[in-house]
Amino acid sequence: MVLNPVISKLAGKLVVLASASPRRLEILRNAGLRFEVVPSWFKETLDKSLFKAPHEYAVETAKQKALEVARRMPFKHLKTPDIVIGADTIVTVDGMILEKPVDKDDAYRMLSSLSGKSHSVFTGVAIVLCHEKENDEVDYQLFAFYEETKVKFADLSENMLWEYINSGEPMDKAGGYGIQALGGMLVEYVHGDFLNVVGFPLNHFCKQLDLIYNHGAFSSEQETSPGSSSHNGTHASPTILTQSSPDTPAQSGHSNGSSAKHNPSAGQTRHTQSSPSASPVHKVKKNDGESEVGESSWTLVNSLSKHTDDRQAELVDSENAASLMTSRGPAMELNVTEHEGGEPRKEDLQRITELMDGFKASKALFTASKMCVFDLLQSRPGLDAAQVAEEIKASVKGTECLLEACESLGLLKSKERKCQKPVYENSGLASRFLLSDAPFSLQGYIQHCDKTVWPLFSHLEDAVREGSNQHEKAFGKKSKDMFQDTFYNSLDVKLRFMNAMHSIAKVTGQAVATAFDLSSFKTACDLGGCTGAMAYEFTKSYPGLSVTVFDLPAVVEMSEHFHPLRTDNRVSFVAGDFFNDDLPKADLYILARILHDWPDEKVHVLLSRVADACTPGCGLLLSEIFLDEDRGGPSRGLLQALSMSDGKQRSAAEYGLLLESHGFITAHIRHTDNLLDAMLCIKA
């Protein structure tokens, strides 16, 4: 039921929340607002010293967050939102701005500065209205306000402080406390809007919407805004309106000194924001390849989505990037336009051809890898096609085609010799990832793609029609539990699967292990840790850490195959089923690429078992591909979902909510620029 008639005004509009904070999501959802979540990429790094008052900093940060999303969406998501909401909460005490603590000592510093005193919580909120015009330009109109709430803390003893810090709750909260949970115990009284302290001033927000939608404040001429500033909470600020329409002289950061106008009807001063760090609000043209977005000028062909670009950067050899067909960003980034006369653009044709031919490129890579072409050319660079053919026991004609195709994909390099056939050697990309003994060898994963994922994809249409996994058609047997029924039924399939996991874990392990500072944990348990490759990366990164790898007996019995020398006795293996058997005790649990394999019901079973094994303060490190909150990417995650059985790919906020329901508080989220993202949660 929607109680608030203003919220109901937004029904049917594309409303976007530029924040992944689970608390803000919950407040707005509970109010009946329907919205998409697209977390902002704006980094909270504005120079605080440039702002006269703390609330100006919070408002400016909220504005920049919302604008970044509003500007990105027409290009990255090919849709223009109607409204983008941004928010930033800060705590101020004794003239200092407190944001989220970076570690326990920082949390201690913050909380002890609040002990026994009254402090202010400010949330800056920005509402960006996006107006698509006939010529496909987008105009942005910005409304910003803030809310202040005063909170008085009790005197906190050292014991109490540390007990609270060790609960893990302070880590993702402005000022180092969460009033809605354990932190409520620290508070003597609150003066003002409680939800503002939680993270979003709902009441003030609704009043602002009322102004915008019921009192005409969203006309581009904003000279009057009846009642705009009559927010009635004792500690609420007067409403600060507004950013004038984008290309008026009063643009944010370009206000030409006319920063305040008197609004007689409201008896208040209205400000156009003119903070030093504000960036201009641009008009953007959606379908014009040459148009600018914000401050960056993007070239059309290589306008990779930031996500995809960053995530793939590790794997793309710069010298060969241009020719590596599958390394390009998603089609969404391209604005397909037609030249006069209807001729398609070269770049568009190139992109669509790459997509059509993608499977040929994959299969050429799989085949060359299986036939050991890269290993051969590493030990004997400079062979011509006939020599390679002889070594790999293949036809000269077929080998020639394969080598040429691999060269065009950036996997091989050739040298022409006078009047003779070209000779081949590995490219940097091949030497790094395609040799069987390279530290970051992806050969195991490539073979898994060839033998397991490929057959599943060949039944994609059935999978889409039926909405179920195609293991039976692809492998001739039914599969209730993909691992026990399909992968571990025969030794060679099992080894191939384990090799695949091993190779990905070796490539991603260090980035996951060092995504956060885990040095305070002494014992970890890697649930579904497979060959232990990830565990070894963790012990390499943390000399004081021991890791127990917990996996099914069929897997653990093969562990020596992968680590014959057992070089590190801080890694041990325990066989068991994480849905049924006791979990080893540890103060950090690792779930790397586990949850995506299971539906929500099974995830709840597993998480409740992990929660039972945890004491307060225990950590849970989750590592997965995190989907964008609007599920618009990255395509690697979305494509993987097509061949998955019963599991699903989720966004960081979705994982956060699942974990929160088992008492885990999300402390940090990290997009690692490697193949996997990471989230650190603490058991409250």
Please say which residue, 288 or 485, places its beta carbon nearer to ligand SAM: 485
* Burial per residue of 104-131, b for 16 or more beta-carbon CB atoms within 10 angstroms, e otherwise: bebbbebbebbbeeebbbbbbbbbbbbb
> Under rule CB under 6 A, which residues in 495-524 are in contact with ligand SAM?
501, 504-505
Task: Please select the residue that binds ligand SAM; options are 351, 471, 593, 671, rule is CB under 6 A.
Answer: 593
Sequence-ordered list of residues with C-beta below 8 angstroms from that of 145, at least 6 positions apart, any chain? 59, 124, 125, 204, 208, 231, 237, 239, 240, 241
Report the alpha-carbon distance of residue 298 to residue 538 in Å, rounded: 38
- State the minimum distance, in angstroms, from the CB of residue 500 to ligand SAM: 9
Question: Cα–chain-centroid distance for residue 99?
Answer: 21
- State the minimum distance, in angstroms, from the CB of residue 539 to ligand SAM: 15
CA-based angle 205:18:302, to the nearest 5? 150
Report the alpha-carbon distance of residue 55 to residue 340 in Å, rounded: 51
Task: Please select the residue that binds ligand SAM; options are 382, 579, 582, 642, rule is CB under 6 A.
Answer: 579
Please say which residue, 384 or 526, places its beta carbon nearer to ligand SAM: 526
Task: Please select the residue that binds ligand SAM; options are 25, 67, 389, 534, rule is CB under 6 A.
Answer: 534
How far lies 242's CA from each of 257, 260, 292, 501, in Å? Answer: 15, 10, 24, 53
- State the minimum distance, in angstroms, from the CB of residue 433 to ligand SAM: 17
Determine the interface stretch with ligand SAM among 102-110, 425-433, 588-596, 635-643 (rule: CB under 6 A). Answer: 588-596
Please say which residue, 214 or 484, places its beta carbon nearer to ligand SAM: 484
Please say which residue, 28 or 555, places its beta carbon nearer to ligand SAM: 555
Kindly state the number of chain residues that form the binding site for ligand SAM, as judged by CB under 6 A: 18
CA-based angle 404:497:491, to the nearest 5? 115
- State the minimum distance, in angstroms, from the CB of residue 588 to ligand SAM: 14
Give the residue nearest to ligand SAM (CB): 528
530 contacts ligand SAM (rule: CB under 6 A): yes
> Under rule CB under 6 A, which residues in 546-565 are in contact with ligand SAM?
551-552, 555
Please say which residue, 298 or 457, places its beta carbon nearer to ligand SAM: 457
Determine the interface stretch with ligand SAM among 8-16, 215-223, 464-472, 572-580 (rule: CB under 6 A). Answer: 572-580
Question: Cα–chain-centroid distance for residue 477?
Answer: 36
How far lies 12's CA from each of 33, 82, 253, 390, 559, in Å? Answer: 11, 10, 33, 66, 55
Question: Which of 47, 82, 88, 450 is an active site residue?
Answer: 88
Q: Which one-letter amino acid corresponds to residue 662?
A: H
- State the minimum distance, in angstroms, from the CB of residue 681 to ligand SAM: 17
Question: Cα–chain-centroid distance for residue 410?
Answer: 29
- State the minimum distance, in angstroms, from the CB of residue 439 to ligand SAM: 16
CA-based torsion, 46, 94, 27, 33: positive or negative: negative
3-state secondary structure of 404: helix
CA-based angle 570:572:575, to the nearest 5? 165
Q: Which one-letter amino acid corresponds to residue 239?
A: T
Q: Among 312, 308, 292, 309, which residue's Cα sits nearest to residue 300? A: 292
Task: Please select the residue that binds ligand SAM; options are 62, 594, 621, 653, rule is CB under 6 A.
Answer: 594
Report the alpha-carbon distance of residue 629 to residue 81 in Å, rounded: 14
583 contacts ligand SAM (rule: CB under 6 A): no
Q: Which one-letter amino acid corresponds to residue 136?
A: D
- State the minimum distance, in angstroms, from the CB of residue 658 to ligand SAM: 17
Please say which residue, 188 or 577, places its beta carbon nearer to ligand SAM: 577
Sequence-ordered list of residues with C-beta below 8 angstroms from that of 465, at least 6 positions apart, any chain? none
Q: Which one-letter amino acid corresponds to residue 415?
A: K
Is 136 part of the annotated catalytic residue set?
A: no
- State the minimum distance, in angstroms, from the CB of residue 499 to ligand SAM: 11
- DSSP annotation of 480: S
610 contacts ligand SAM (rule: CB under 6 A): no
Report the alpha-carbon distance of residue 647 to residue 603 in Å, rounded: 9
Determine the interface stretch with ligand SAM among 104-112, 194-202, 593-601, 626-634 (rule: CB under 6 A). Answer: 593-601
Helices 346-370 and 396-408: crossing angle in degrees, nearest 10, is 130
For the window 466-485, what string marks contact with ligand SAM as x by the rule CB under 6 A?
-----------------x--
278 contacts ligand SAM (rule: CB under 6 A): no
Report the alpha-carbon distance of residue 515 to residue 498 in Å, rounded: 24
528 contacts ligand SAM (rule: CB under 6 A): yes
Determine the interface stretch with ligand SAM among 196-204, 238-246, 370-378, 574-582 (rule: CB under 6 A). Answer: 574-582
Please say which residue, 143 or 497, places its beta carbon nearer to ligand SAM: 497
Sequence-ordered list of residues with C-beta below 8 angstroms from that of 605, at least 6 positions apart, any chain? 579
- State the minimum distance, in angstroms, from the CB of residue 498 to ligand SAM: 7
Strand 118-132 to 83-93 pairing: antiparallel
Task: Please select the residue that binds ligand SAM; options are 171, 592, 675, 681, rule is CB under 6 A.
Answer: 592
Determine the interface stretch with ligand SAM among 240-248, 387-395, 420-428, 586-594 (rule: CB under 6 A). Answer: 586-594
- State the minimum distance, in angstroms, from the CB of residue 560 to ligand SAM: 16
> Under rule CB under 6 A, which residues in 168-227 are in contact with ligand SAM?
none
424 contacts ligand SAM (rule: CB under 6 A): no
- DSSP annotation of 360: H
577 contacts ligand SAM (rule: CB under 6 A): yes
- State the minimum distance, in angstroms, from the CB of residue 502 to ligand SAM: 7
CA-based torsion, 328, 332, 335, 341: positive or negative: positive
User: To which H or E segment does residue 57 belong?
Assistant: helix 54-76
Please say which residue, 381 or 455, places its beta carbon nearer to ligand SAM: 455
Binding site for ligand SAM (CB under 6 A): 483, 501, 504-505, 528-530, 534, 551-552, 555, 577-579, 592-594, 597
Which residues are known catalytic residues? 88
